[in-house]
Chains A and B, each alone.
Chain A
Amino acid sequence: MHPAPSVILFTTLSGLGFGLLFFLGLGFPAVSGWVAFVFFAIAYGLAVGGLMASTFHLGHPERAWKAFTQWKTSWLSREGWCAVLALVVMGLYAIGVVFLDRHWSLLGWIGALMSLATVFTTSMIYTQLKTIPRWNMNLTPAMFLSFSLAGGALLAGQTRVAIPLLLIAAFVQILYWKKGDKALEASGTDLGTATGLGNRGTVRAFEPPHTGTNYLLREFVHVVGRKHAEKLRVISFVLAFVLPVLLLVLPFNHFLALLAVASHLAGVATSRWLFFAQAEHVVGLYYGKR
C-alpha cells in the first residue's frame, strides 16, 4: 500500500492521543488545574490532529460529516462516532478536572473505554480488509491497542505500567511481523485464483493494461526492498521500544522522559510506515507486482 503521510500521521498521533486519554480518564496521572490542562491539551492535540490529518487524503473533506451515517456497517463510520463520543465525554471529564477540580470517575471510565474503542475501530478499518492479508489478522487490533496503551502510558508518565506495556507491544510487534510476512501466502490468494487460470499452469502477468500508471498502482502497489525493510524494522523497534524502556529504567528525569516519548513516537511512526508500505493488496497480483 502507498504509505501516505496523512494516514501514517493519523494512526500514529491519534493512537497516542487516545492512549493518553485512556490513562487520563482512569485518573492517571491524578492531575488537575493547569497541569491537567497541559495533559489534556497534549492528548487532544494528538487525537484531533491525527483525525484532521486523516481528512487530508479525502477527495471531498467538506462532506466528511457524511461519514457518520453508516455506523451499522462501516468501521470507518464507527470510528468517527467513537472518536467524537470519546472526545466529547473526555471533554466533559476534562472540564471537571481542569476547571472544577472534580473527578467524575464514571465519566472518566466511560471516556477511557471510548478512547480505547476508538483505537480499536481504527484498527478494524484495516483489519477487516481481506484484500490485504497482512492486515487481515487479529494481531492488527492487538498491535494498535498495545501501541496505543504503551504510548499512552508513556505520555501519561506512568513508568511502572509503561515498561510492561512497552514490552507487550514489542512482543505483539514481533508476532505481527512474523505472521504478516507469511500472510499473503497463507491467504491462498495468488495470480492463479485471481485469474481463475491457476489450474492450467503457471500464470505470469504479461502486458499490463496500459504502459503508464493508474490510481490502483499508485494506491496499492508499493514495493519495499527486503533489506531496506529489515533495516527499518530494526530502527523502528529500537526507537519504539528498546530505547524508551532503557530510558525509563534509568532514574527519572524529565529530559529523559521526553526523549523516551520522542523516540517512541518516531519508532511507532516508522512501524506505521512499514505497516502501510509492506502491506500487499491482492490487486497487485493482477499487475504482476507481487
Chain B
Amino acid sequence: MTHQQPILDTSPKVSDEIRRTTCYMCACRCGINVHMKDGKVAYIEGNRDHPVNKGVLCAKGSAGIMQVNAPSRLRKPLKRVGPRGSGEFEEISWDEALELAVSWLEPIRKDNPEKLAFFTGRDQSQSFTSFWAQNFGTCNYAAHGGFCSVNMAAGGIYTMGGAFWEFGQPDWDHTKLFMLFGVAEDHDSNPIKMGIGKIKARGARVIGVNPIRSGYNAVADDWVGITPGTDGLFILSLIHVLMKAGKIDLDYLSRYTNAPVLVNASEGAGNGLFLRDDDGKPLVIDRNTGKLTAFDTPGVRPNLSAVYENDGVVHRPVFHLMAEKYLSEEHAPEAVAEKCGIPAKRIRAIAAELARVAFDEAFELDQEWIDFRGEKHTKMIGRPVAMHSMRGVSAHANGFQTCRALHVLQIILGTVEVPGGFRFKPPYPKPVEAHPTPHCKVTPNSPLDGPHLGFVRGPEHLALKEDGSPARIDKAFTWENPMSSHGLMHMVISNAHAGDPYKIDTLFMYMANMSWNSTMNTKGVIEMLTDKDENGDYIIPRIIYSDAYSSEMVAYADLILPDTTYLERHDCISLLDRPICEADAAADAIRWPVIEPDRDVRGFQSVLIDLANRMKLPGFTHEDGSAKWVDYADYIVNHERKPGIGPLAGFRGENANKEGRGEVNPDQLNRYIENGGFYVAHIPQGADYYKPWNAAYQDWAVGIGLYDSPQPYLFQLYSEPMRKFQLAAEGHGDRQPPDHLRQRIKDTMDPLPIWYETDQQGNDGFTVNALTQRPMAMYHSWGTQNAWLRQLHGRNPLYVPTRLMRKHGLSDGDWAKITSPHGKITVPVMEMAALNDNTVWTWNAIGKRKGAWALQEDAPEATKGFLLNHLIHELLPPKGDGLRWANSDPITGQAAWFDLKVKIEKADAPADAQSQPHFDPIKSPVGTGPDNLAWKVGN
C-alpha cells in the first residue's frame, strides 16, 4: 500500500460578504474586515488598506466575535431597585429611562448646571460629549485622561507641540536606534509592534528602559531595568553627557527651539520670562547683525550663545541656563547611577550610542523644503534615533517633568520631526497657543462660556471661582495642579462624596469602571458610592451610567443606559478628537452598524442626542425649537464645527471630492463605508518632515482645516507658562496660590526640566516598588468577558524578583501579604528573574468582582485574580500638617499609580485559597454565560 490522501477542498467559500469597519477591542482603532455568513459575524481579520494596522490584528481584535456575542452584554435599560451595589435592577423601557434622566437633569440645568458632573471615561467621541456638556452648561466635564496619561500629553504639548502617546510615532522606515521608556503596550498597540518588527528586520537596535523585561522590553537588544520613578534622573544624565561631549545639534537648536531666546534677568514680575518685542514675539540675538531680533524674522540666525545687556542686567539665552543646569556634576552618570539602578558605565555607553547613531549615522534625503522664515533648504537631514514613552514615565508624580526631560533629550539630538527620528501625526504639531484655554463660567439655563479643557498659559487661566475656590468638582486647573489639561476623573467621586469643593446632584458617567479597576482605593470608592447621609439618602444623590456590559460599575448606578457593542453602532474617530492619523497622513474613521443589535440597546451618543432634544439644549436645537439631529449618524454628517468643517474630513462637498473643508455631504457615511470605513489625506512629499516649521506642511494643514492660519513655532525647552506659576508663587501677580502650596510650586514648576523625588513621607518601611502592566491580549476589564481571551489571562500572580523571593523564602505558588501605607492584599506569587530586583508587579485589571461580567462566581478572576488598586490611595498618607495631599503629579494632577511602595511578607495560603480582600458577590443583571461553546456560524 502506498501513501494515499483524501481529496480536500482547498478553496472553500470564505464568507458571504466583508464589512469593513473600525475595531474597538481597544482604543488603537485598527481597521477590520468583518466576514459575514448568514448575516452573522463569522471571522474578523485586519484590513490591509487601513493606515493604522495595514492588515495585522492583535489578539483582542481577532477575538471581537466573542465580544459582540458575550453573555455579559446588557439587554435593556435598568432602574435600580435594590440598594446601590446589590446589582438588583428592573428592566424598563427606553422612554421611561430617558424621561427619568430628563426629570433629574432638567431641574439641574435650570438652577445650577454645575450640579451635574459628566465624566466619560475612555471616550472616543470627546469632541461630541464635550459639546453636549458645554451646551448643558456644566463646567464639570472631562474624560479619563487625568488618571491615564495627561503627563505624557501635556508634557509633550507644552514642550514641543505634540506628545508620544498616539500623537506621534518614530520614523520606523529610517530609524536605527529606538529607545522605549516605560511602555508595556500603549494605545498604538499594533503600530508599535509593526514598527519594532520592521526595525528589527533591518537589524537596528532597540533599547528598552523598563523595570520589567517582558513584551517589547523582552525583544529589546539592551534592557535597562531602571528603578521606577528615576527616569528623569537617567535622562538628565544622558543630556549631561551629550552636552559635555558637544554631541548636540546646535544648528537645530538655534533654528527650531527656544534655546536662543533671551530670558529676562531683571528682578520683578518679568523675571524669567522671555524678552519680547512689541508684537509679543520672543527675541533672540541675530548672529549676522548681533542685534535683538524677533525669532521668526526672515534671515535671522539666532545665536545660542550671545547675551544681551541692558541697564546692567545680563539677559541670557535659554541655552546658557541649560548649560548651567545640566552640565553640573549632580547630573553626572556617577552621581545618579545608584539611584537609577544603572551602572555609570552603562549610562555613558547609551549616551555614546545615541551620539554615534544621531551624528555618525546621519543621512540626507534629497528633498527641498522652505522653512517658516522663508529659508530654502536643499536637503532634509536624517538623525536616525527615535524614542517613545508612555505610562511608565507618565504615571509618577514627577512624570510631567520627566516627559519634558525626555523631549529635551530628543530635541538636543535634533531628532524630532526629522527623517529617522520622532514624527508627529496630524493634527499635531500644534503649539500650546493653538489650543483652547479652560472655561468654567456656569450660567443657569445656558451653555458654558467655552470649552472645558485646555492648556493654561499662566495663573490667569486657572479654573477658580471669584473667591479663589476651585470651580470644578475635580479641582482641575487649580493651584494644586495648574496644568491639569485633561481634568481629574479620579478625584470626582471622592470630591463629590466629601462635598469638596461643593456637593453635586447627579453623577453621569460613561464607559469607566470606576467602582473597580479604573479607580484608586477601590474599597473606599465603593463605600463612597454607597454612603448615606443622616436622612438615609445617598451622599451622591443620583448616578446615571452607560455601559455596554455587566461591569462592576453597573451595580453602583441608579439608572443604566445600555450601549451597543462596537459592531452595532455609528462612531466617529474624528480629526477634532483622537483620529487615526499617521506621520505622513491625516486620517479619520467611522464605525457603522455591521450588525443590528439583538437586544433593546442604543448607541450612547444617539442617546445623548435624544436627551439633548428632550431638554432642547441650545447647540442641538434650531431657532424654531426643532431638533437639529435625530441621532449620532445624523450629527456626524451634518454637524459643522465651523462652516465647512465637521466631524469627518473625508468626502465633503456636494461631489464628495473635498478634503478637510467642504460643505456637508449627505452621502458621506456611505462613502466612508465604501472606502473601508476610513479616509486618508496624504501629506505631500516635502511637507512630511520638519512640520512645525515647514511652510508646505503649514499650508497643507490650513488647507484641510487643521488650523485657520499657519502656526509655526519653536520647541519650548524652557516653558514660560511654568515660570509664570513660579512667579505667582514668588508673590507676583494678583492671582496668588495659597501659602501651603507656594514652596511646592516653586520647587516643581521649574521652566527647565528637573527631576525630583516623589513625596516619600509616610512610606517608611515600604521600600519595594509595585507596578502593573497591561497584558497585550486583554483590554482593562473588558477582556474577561471574552471566552477566548480569558483563557490566556484568567488570573494574575504577583511577579517577584529572584532576590526578594529568596529573601522572603518564597517559591512559585506561595502566598504573600503585600502591604502599603494604605491597605493590604494577600495573593499568590511567582518568580521572575528578568525584573528590577526591588520591584514587584502584576497584570492590570485581571481581578474581578464576583457576579460581574456574566462569569460564574467561582471564576478564577474572582477567586485568585486581584487588583493592585486596593493598595493605592488617591491621597498620600497623612503628613501631620492637617492637609491631605493628592497622590498626583503636582503640575498636572496625573494620578501617580506607579509611585506605589509596598512591603512583602510570606503568608499562609488563605483557607479558601482565594486572594484577599474579596467582596460580596453582586447580583448579575444578565445571568451567567453558557458552559460550553462550539462557535461556528456557517456549516
Contact = CB atoms under 8 A, between A and B. Distances in A.
B651 to A, nearest CB: 44
A103 B832 CA distance: 71
A255 interface: no
Scoring A72, A204, A211, A212 by chain B CB atoms within 10 A of each residue's CB, the highest score goes to A211
B833 A211 contact: no
B794 A211 contact: yes
B382 to A, nearest CB: 35
Main secondary structure on A side of the interface with B? loop
Interface in B328-362: none
Interface string B807-851: 000000000000000000000000011000000000000000000
Interface residues of A, number: 7
Given A210-B791, A211-B791, A211-B860, 14 more contacts: A72-B1, A204-B833, A206-B832, A209-B792, A210-B792, A210-B793, A210-B794, A211-B792, A211-B793, A211-B794, A211-B795, A212-B791, A212-B794, A212-B860
A209 B789 CA distance: 11
A204 B791 CA distance: 22
Interface string A200-219: 00001010011110000000
Contacts of A206: 832
16 contacts: A204-B833, A206-B832, A209-B792, A210-B791, A210-B792, A210-B793, A210-B794, A211-B791, A211-B792, A211-B793, A211-B794, A211-B795, A211-B860, A212-B791, A212-B794, A212-B860
Contacts of A72: 1
Contacts of B1: 72
Nearest to A214: B791
Nearest to A208: B792
A257 to B, nearest CB: 48
A72 B2 CA distance: 10
Contacts, number: 17
Scoring A204, A209, A212 by chain B CB atoms within 10 A of each residue's CB, the highest score goes to A212
A134 B795 CA distance: 34
A72 B792 CA distance: 41
A138 to B, nearest CB: 29
Contacts of B832: 206
B634 to A, nearest CB: 44
A35 B793 CA distance: 63
Question: Which are the 8 A-B pairs with shortest beta-carbon distances?
Answer: A211-B794, A210-B791, A210-B792, A211-B795, A212-B791, A212-B794, A211-B793, A72-B1
Interface string B767-804: 00000000000000000000000011111000000000
B803 to A, nearest CB: 16
Interface residues of B, number: 9
Contacts of B795: 211
Interface string A178-211: 0000000000000000000000000010100111
B488 to A, nearest CB: 34
Contacts of B860: 211-212
A210 B791 CA distance: 6
Nearest to B861: A211
Nearest to A213: B791
Nearest to B791: A210
A195 to B, nearest CB: 14
Contacts of B794: 210-212
A247 to B, nearest CB: 46
A207 to B, nearest CB: 8
A211 B795 CA distance: 6
A134 B794 CA distance: 34
A204 B794 CA distance: 22
Nearest to B218: A206
B6 to A, nearest CB: 13
A212 B792 CA distance: 7
B600 to A, nearest CB: 34
Nearest to A204: B833
A138 B827 CA distance: 47
Nearest to A209: B792
A223 to B, nearest CB: 13
A230 B795 CA distance: 35
Contacts of B792: 209-211
A204 B832 CA distance: 10
Interface in A44-96: 72
A204 B805 CA distance: 15
Contacts of A212: 791, 794, 860
A235 B833 CA distance: 42
A209 B794 CA distance: 11
A206 B1 CA distance: 46
A212 B859 CA distance: 11
A206 B800 CA distance: 12
Nearest to B789: A210
A45 to B, nearest CB: 35
A212 B793 CA distance: 8
Contacts of A209: 792
A258 B791 CA distance: 51
B220 to A, nearest CB: 16
Nearest to B865: A211
A72 B1 CA distance: 8
B639 to A, nearest CB: 45
A141 B426 CA distance: 73
A39 to B, nearest CB: 39
Interface in B209-247: none
Contacts of B833: 204
Contacts of B793: 210-211
Interface string A205-243: 010011110000000000000000000000000000000
Interface string B280-310: 0000000000000000000000000000000
Contacts of B791: 210-212
A244 B794 CA distance: 51
Contacts of A211: 791-795, 860
A70 to B, nearest CB: 9
Nearest to A202: B833
B595 to A, nearest CB: 29
A84 to B, nearest CB: 19
A188 B707 CA distance: 68
Nearest to B832: A206
B833 to A, nearest CB: 7
Nearest to A288: B812
A204 B792 CA distance: 19
Nearest to A69: B1
Interface string B130-163: 0000000000000000000000000000000000
A29 B794 CA distance: 61
A72 B860 CA distance: 47
A210 B783 CA distance: 14
A206 B860 CA distance: 20
B772 to A, nearest CB: 15
A209 B792 CA distance: 7
B420 to A, nearest CB: 31
A211 B842 CA distance: 14
Nearest to B775: A207
Contacts of A204: 833
Contacts of A210: 791-794
